[in-house]
Amino acid sequence: MWGEGARAGEGGVDYSARALEGVVGDFGLTDAFRTVHPGDAGYTWRNSRGFASRLDYIFVGGGICGMKCVLLPSWASDHDMLQVSLPTDGPKWGSGFWRLNTLLLEAEAFKAVFTSFYRSVRAMRPMYASVVEWWEAAKCRLAKFCRRFAAAARRRDRAGVAKVSADLSYLHGCFNRGEHVDWALYEG
């Protein structure tokens, strides 16, 4: 992609370009200019000796429909400006970002079930084209799991509080009426 042949008029291998190519591949990114203009060399730098090279890139997640990408000459630099316009009808966000209630991490019951759940999420990694795609799906699953666990814990807590309140109300009534209380029911 960027190694040999990425520079016009110069030979050799650019090893940093090969390393960048690996990162881009690992995260499922695409070259915005190449996506929009597949047949254009897109040189962003030129010198007075006639050398030209594509030195400037913007990488985006794949599948962006409606993206526009142009090279604009700049009087202030020997590089052309690379301008990418992304569609504004992108993802719709909810009321805000979800944050993990870190108190869950202290609960042994949570740790036990979460470990098993995370193993199943991690096992899904080979089904995705890149780590980024997998992580986006994994984040949603992990957030949903944590929300459900916290909601169930809240329901259990509320049920416990409701039971204690009902017991106290019953005992209060018994004491006010002078009735006998079977304390064995309330031990522990």
- Residue 100 pLDDT more than 50? yes
Q: What is the pLDDT of residue 63?
A: 63
**Between 101 and 159, the higher pLDDT residue:** 159
Q: What are the residues whose beta carbons fall under 8 Å from the beta carbon of 55, sequence distance 6 or more?
A: 44, 45, 79
Kind plus residue range of the DSSP H or E element containing 140 = helix 131-177
Give Cα 135 distance to the centre of its chain. Answer: 6
User: DSSP label at 51?
Assistant: -
Write the burial class of residue 33 (CB in 10 Å: 0-12 exposed, 13-18 middle, 19+ buried).
Answer: buried
Q: What is the pLDDT of residue 95?
A: 61
Closest by Cα among 100, 103, 97, 130 to 118: 100
pLDDT digits (tens, 9 = 90+) for 39-56: 888 888 888 888 888 888
Q: Indicate the SS3 state at residue 53.
A: strand
Q: What is the pLDDT of residue 4?
A: 43
Q: How many CB atoms lie within 10 A of CB 52?
A: 16
**Between 90 and 87, the higher pLDDT residue:** 87
Q: Indicate the SS3 state at residue 24.
A: helix
Q: What is the mean pLDDT of residues 169-185?
A: 81
- Per-domain residue ranges for the chain? 7-85, 102-186
Q: Indicate the SS3 state at residue 45.
A: strand
Tokens of 162: 């409701």
pLDDT digits (tens, 9 = 90+) for 123-168: 988 888 888 888 888 888 888 888 888 888 889 889 989 988 888 8
Note the pTM of the prediction, 2 decimals: 0.42
- Count how many residues are written for the chain: 188
Closest by Cα among 96, 91, 93, 21 to 63: 91
